[in-house]
């Protein structure tokens, strides 16, 4: 069967091709841009502590995903629009006998089936291969953080200053707000918040924590935003209730017991 009204169809095709390529290019740029955000300004582990233009790392990840899905759809459409040409070229290359015009619909459906099938297979295998990381500390720390968040509504009203427990009441604050820049992965300024000596020993300056003296402990100045010339000051200020908690911990002697399961 000959193409119907060839002139009109070709015009439409050309326009569609240009449009599709333009959309593909835009989506591709979108992928690069969001990928950049996920790699640099909002690196892994920053979901809880950073947001950019109102979105967290997770939300940017979602946007990245939907853009890439859009790009895939556009690429499939692009292939379909060029299908006749592709089949002709391949046939010529492989010196296949000339067949009748390949059906665009049949080829399109075939492509879609192959793509959807392989994506489903991939998604399925990924779904069933996700494993929980069995680091002994992890679950408990998460539980602590959750506990802290749940109780934070009442925390303002009541903090048991005498009975403040480091691993339960204090460390989760560090974990949530500091560990990402001052932990195992990065040690900005050479400082690690999960290393006792980094808080208690003078490392060329006053120790950050002076037990019993929250009013003059530099840690409190840093997290309440009163330390002068603090780099990235906004990343270092904590909510009022966390400051209160840290102060109470310092004033009660700043215990940092060896972590044992019994000590919780
Ligand atoms: C987004 C990253 C980030 C987070 C989160 C963060 N910091 Fe920092 N911190 C920095 C950077 C950057 C510096 C400066 C490093 C340098 O001087 O090279 C710094 C420096 C410091 C210093 C050295 C201060 C000085 O006098 O120079 C201390 C102490 C510190 N941070 C404590 C904390 C504490 C406590 C928290 C949690 C409440 C925290 N940081 C959260 C990025 C961060």
The mean per-residue pLDDT over the stretch 62-89 comes to 87
Q: Report the 10 Å Cβ neighbour count for 87.
A: 16
- Give pTM, 2 decimals: 0.49
List all residues whose CB is within 6 A of at least one atom of ligand 1.
49, 177-178, 180-182, 188-189, 191, 193, 208, 222-223, 231-232, 235-236, 238
CA 138, chain centre distance (Å) = 18
The number of residues in the chain equals 264
Tokens of 172: 């989760």
Within 8 A by CB and 6+ apart from 200, the residues are 207, 208, 209, 211, 254, 256
For residues 146 and 160, what is the distance between their CA atoms, to the nearest angstrom? 18
Buried b (16+ CB within 10 A) or exposed e, 11-45: eeeeeeeeebeebbeebeebbeebeebbeeebbee
* Greater pLDDT, 50 or 194: 194
Within 8 A by CB and 6+ apart from 71, the residues are 24, 27, 28, 31
For residues 209 and 166, what is the distance between their CA atoms, to the nearest angstrom? 14
pLDDT of residue 132: 64
Tokens of 261: 């399961």
Tokens of 176: 């949530």
Contact yes or no for 247/241 (Cβ under 8 A): no
Within 8 A by CB and 6+ apart from 104, the residues are 80, 83, 84
Residue boundaries of the structural domains of the chain = 6-129, 136-263
For residues 62 and 38, what is the distance between their CA atoms, to the nearest angstrom? 11
pLDDT of residue 102: 59
Q: Calculate how far, in angstroms, residue 14's C-alpha sits from the geometric centre of ligand 1.
A: 56
Ligand 1 pocket test, candidate residues 231, 234, 242, 245, most atoms within 8 A of CB: 231
Tokens of 170: 């204090």
Q: Calculate how far, in angstroms, residue 231's C-alpha sits from the geometric centre of ligand 1.
A: 7
Ligand 1 pocket test, candidate residues 47, 57, 182, most atoms within 8 A of CB: 182
pLDDT of residue 94: 80
- Reported as a single tens digit per residue, the pLDDT across 94-149 is 876 665 565 667 777 887 888 889 888 987 887 777 666 554 444 445 555 555 55
Residue 65 has pLDDT above 70, yes or no: yes
Mean pLDDT, the chain, as a whole number? Answer: 80
Contact yes or no for 243/213 (Cβ under 8 A): no
- Reported as a single tens digit per residue, the pLDDT across 162-221 is 678 899 889 999 999 999 999 998 898 889 999 999 999 987 788 999 999 999 999 999
Q: Supply the residue whose CA is at minimum distance from atom 17 of ligand 1.
A: 189
Q: Calculate how far, in angstroms, residue 233's C-alpha sits from the geometric centre of ligand 1.
A: 8
> Measured from the CA of 205, which atom of ligand 1 is nearest?
26
Ligand 1 pocket test, candidate residues 189, 207, 221, most atoms within 8 A of CB: 189
Phi-psi label, residue 44: left if phi above 0, alpha if psi -120 to 50, beta otherwise: beta
Residue 154 has pLDDT above 50, yes or no: no
């Amino acid at each position: 069967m000959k193409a119907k009204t060839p002139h009109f169809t070709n015009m439409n095709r050309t326009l569609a091709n240009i449009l599709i390529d333009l959309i593909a290019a835009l989506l591709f740029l979108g992928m690069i841009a969001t990928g950049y955000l996920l790699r640099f300004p909002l690196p892994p582990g920053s979901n809880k502590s950073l947001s950019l233009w109102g979105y967290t790392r997770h939300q940017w990840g979602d946007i990245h995903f939907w853009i890439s899905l859009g790009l895939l759809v556009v690429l499939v459409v692009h292939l379909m629009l060029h299908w006749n040409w592709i089949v002709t070229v391949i046939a010529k290359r492989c010196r296949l006998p000339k067949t009748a015009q390949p059906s665009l619909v049949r080829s399109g459906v075939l492509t879609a089936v192959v793509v959807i099938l392989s994506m489903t297979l991939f998604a399925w295998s990924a779904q069933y291969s996700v494993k929980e990381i069995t680091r002994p500390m992890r679950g408990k720390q998460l539980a602590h953080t959750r506990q802290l968040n749940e109780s934070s509504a009442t925390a303002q009203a009541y903090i048991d200053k005498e009975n403040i427990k480091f691993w339960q009441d204090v460390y989760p604050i560090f974990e949530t707000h500091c560990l990402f820049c001052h932990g195992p992965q990065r040690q900005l300024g050479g400082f690690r918040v999960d290393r006792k000596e980094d808080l208690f020993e003078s490392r060329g300056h006053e120790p950050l924590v002076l037990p019993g003296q929250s009013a003059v402990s530099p840690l409190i100045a840093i997290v309440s935003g009163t330390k002068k010339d603090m780099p990235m000051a906004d990343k270092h200020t904590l909510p009022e209730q966390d400051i209160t908690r840290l102060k109470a911990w310092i004033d009660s002697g700043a215990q940092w017991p060896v972590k044992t399961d019994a000590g919780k």
